[in-house]
Structure 1
Amino acid sequence: MEEFEEAYGRALAAGGGDVEVDAAASVLAAGGEGWAGAAEGVARRVGRECAARGWEAADLLRMVGRELTARHHRVAVALGKGGEGLAALAARERLDRFSAAGLAVEVLCLYGRLPRITALVAPRHAAPAAGESKTLARIRALLAKAESTGFPEEAEALSAKAQHLMARHSIDEALVAAGSDAGPGARRIGVDRPYEGARALLLDAVAAANRCQAVWSADFGFSTVVGHATDLDAVELLYTSLLVQADRALQRGASRSRDFRESFLIAYASRIRERLAGAAAEETATTTAPDLLPVLASRDLAVESETRRLFPSTTTSRLRGRDAEGWRHGHSAADTASFRP
């Protein structure tokens, strides 16, 4: 619908102002039975433009969830490929056509304002090692149990076992991939509010222990993790699990102040870094393959080179805990999640 395209363009040029958004929504809602299809068509075009600026579909949905409302997020899913469709969503949520159109225009204006970011490259896979899928399934099961148990000692043992399996799996994959053209790639992992800096610090700790590098994009709520395919899987699995465990430990704290929670998470991330690094080093030390260290060094160099290519200029930020009690609780919680077999 050409008229809606023009109205959306005016709303975008006005920075998503209320008057222009309402005008575009009115044009869309007046489009008869094809109104939802017109919105979805514009969404496809805008999505292609975002992809050309480095944004992937998951990134767009994450930004809607970060900057707008839960209902906007459902509209964004409906507008995208594989969604139920805008008209079906409007009917299910009992939205009149103008209201649904307004939500869609606001989503599209958010997309249209997104700047260019670094385009990602998927990691190149080597031939999978025998039993790889079974190993990953076992790691997922161990972490799921660690998240669900109410006993800290059991969570410690399960998480420790998972990290050692991850390290072993990474070593096996490295030896299989040696001499192949398998190389590192990158993956964006969401870093949610609140206490984003502390959460990014935890993700960085998990990435470093699994031979990856993480670059946090504070403005967009994600970190880009660079590494080989198996290691990227490990980072995402373990980071998600540790956040669940940290949240459970936080609920046991006596204080609910912002400083307490932020200090808790900073201390937790710092201690987890030490524990994970120790677990990875132990697994490497038990490996008898004579060519392992050169292989790992080569992979580390490839990850560093790819990180520098994607992010030629980065800055370092420091976080300091301001609540002593929160720091102690976070340190203790990380000790409970100690990664020792």
Structure 2
Amino acid sequence: MSDAVTRAFEAALYTDDDAALDTGAALLAADLASVGEAGRRGTEFVTRAWQRGWQPADVVRMVRRELTEEHAQLAAGLILDETGRYTGGLPARWDDQLAALPARGEPADRFLHATALLELYRLLLRLPAIEPVGPAPGTPAHTAPVSGGHEPRMLTRIRALLAKAEATDFPDEAEALTAKAQELMARHSIDEALLAHREHSAEAPRACRIGVDAPYETAKAILLDAVATANRCRAVWNESFGFSTVVGFAPDLEMAEVLYTSLLVQGTAAMTRAEAAQRSGGRRRTKTFRQSFLMAYAHRVGERLAAASDHVAAEDYSLLPVLAAREVAVTGAVDEMFPSTQRTRVRGVDDAAGWEHGRAAADEATQPLPGVPPTPLRQWGSLSRSDRRSDAGSGA
């Protein structure tokens, strides 16, 4: 490392002082070659992030939360450079995360570019260790992606049904499409569990992280928790880092992520329509309406999904021991990953109109299967939360 880059890093990366940041940026900006070398050295910080349990989507999400979109673009460039050096393939789910990265970006001004780099490196340097949800690239435990092969026909069909549900403007049609997708998910999960049982498979629960972004992240975390539970998974929310870790068997994880994404799209669209109708009548309390709407939507979705899953499982009671064994395995995996997880009560609904509209939207999005009676509405819920906190930017 050149003397200029060494001095710039020593001056700027281990303090929160703005003057030190300016000093480091000035040292880099004085020489174009130093800026380039500092940019290349950034891949070392990315490698350290992988070793601490982070994945590409996690890093970019954290950069966006703590810094700016410009920094996220710089981080994306570093991630692509770092991951491009692995010739043996990347861990499962990484290809999709890399494909979703923002486009590379570099400001024209050399000093501003150097400043942004150092701000980004400060953040990457202070990322704490988190629970790993898979091996880091290049480690002996690394295996080839499981998601890079042919997608099961059932999952393709489910995706198509949910895409139609998101696109239609007719609530009855969306209701029918989503209900059918729920039924297919439940049956696919049971089929996979039976197959593994008959073949005496040694498959163990896995984990993935799903972003839970502001605004209204509590309601979104509750929605994800409901979807995960209905798909025989468990979700643990880390508010500080903006994600939930979902633990379950591989087919169930994929189903849970697909359904959560679709229901969030459907719920947001329904909330926008309901809010517009409220505002046309002279209403102004937008924030409280949205919060209450999404909380009610999440609670009601959970009830509907649970009813649908129970209905399918009840068709053959001989399945219960197999499914129970899987639930025990998932619970054990969660306890091992999160030994100090806390169950937190969630409140904060104080808008009756928002609650009622959200409940109605959930009924439209996730109507129970034929023969499944509606369940009573829960007014409050709870979430499993990780006790880890972010110290990014704290100088620790």
TM-score normalised by the chain length of structure 2:
0.77
Q: After the TM superposition, which segments of 4 or more aligned residues of structure 1 sit over 3 Å from their partners?
A: none
Unaligned runs of 5+ in 1: none
Matched, 1:10 2:31: no
Match of 1:110 among 106, 120, 123: 123
Q: Deviations over 1:172-211 (max 9, x none)?
A: 1111222211110111111000111111011000000000
Which position in structure 1 is the counterpart of 2:209? Answer: 188
Letter in 2 for 1:117: I
Q: Which residue does the alignment assign to 2:78?
A: 79
CA 1:100–1:180 in 2, change beyond 3 Å: closer, same or farther?
A: same
Gaps of 5+ in 2: 85-103, 136-142, 370-396
Correspondence 1:248-263 to 2 at 5 A = 248-252=269-273, 253=275, 254=278, 255=283, 256-263=285-292
Provide the aligned length of Structure 1 versus Structure 2. Answer: 328
What is the RMSD computed on CA atoms of the aligned residues? 2.5
Which residue of the partner structure matches residue 363 of structure 2? 335
| Whole-angstrom CA distance in 2 between matches of 1:34 and 1:102 | 13
Note the alpha carbon deviations across 1:241-264, whole angstroms, 9 max, x for none. Answer: 111111111112215522111111
Residue 187 of structure 2 corresponds to residue 173 of structure 1: no
Q: CA deviation at 1:6?
A: 4.0
Distance in 2 between residues matched to 1:164 and 1:105, nearest whole Å: 50
Residue aligned with 2:13, SS: helix
Tell me the residue number matched to 1:247.
268
Q: 1:147 to 1:5 in 2, by over 3 A?
A: farther
CA distance 1:327–1:13, change in 2 (3 Å): same
Q: Aligned runs of 1:103-142 on 2, under 5 Å?
A: 103-121=116-134, 133-142=152-161
Deviation of the 1:286 alpha carbon: 2.7
> Which residue of the partner structure matches residue 302 of structure 2?
273
Asked if the contact 2:54/2:132 (under 8 Å) is kept, the reply is: yes
| CA distance in 1 between partners of 2:321 and 2:24 (Å) | 60
Find 1:314's aligned residue among 341, 347, 359.
341
* Aligned AA (1:195): Y
Where 1:54 maps in the other structure, the secondary structure is: coil
Distance change (3 Å), C-alpha of 1:283 and 1:328? same
CA contact (8 A) 1:163 1:339 kept: no
The percentage of counterpart residues that share the same residue type is 49
TM-score, normalising length from structure 1?
0.89
Distance 1:210 1:8 in 2: 47
State the secondary structure of the residue aligned to 1:154.
Answer: helix
- The structure whose residues are more often helix, as a share, is 1
Partners of 2:302 and 2:59 in 1: CA distance:
30
Separation in 2 of the partners of 1:169 and 1:132?
13
- Letter of the 2:174 partner, please give it: A
CA distance in 2, matches of 1:121, 1:339: 35
| Stretch of structure 1 that moved more, 328-337 or 52-61 | 52-61
Counterpart residue identity of residue 22, structure 2: D
Change (3 A) 1:95 1:287: farther
Following the alignment from structure 2 to structure 1, what is the Cα–Cα distance between the partners of residues 346 and 76?
35
| Alpha carbons 2:13, 2:122 under 8 Å: kept | yes
Give per-residue Cα distances to partners, 1:117-161, cap 9 Å, x unaligned. 212247x99x99xx9621111111111111111111111111111
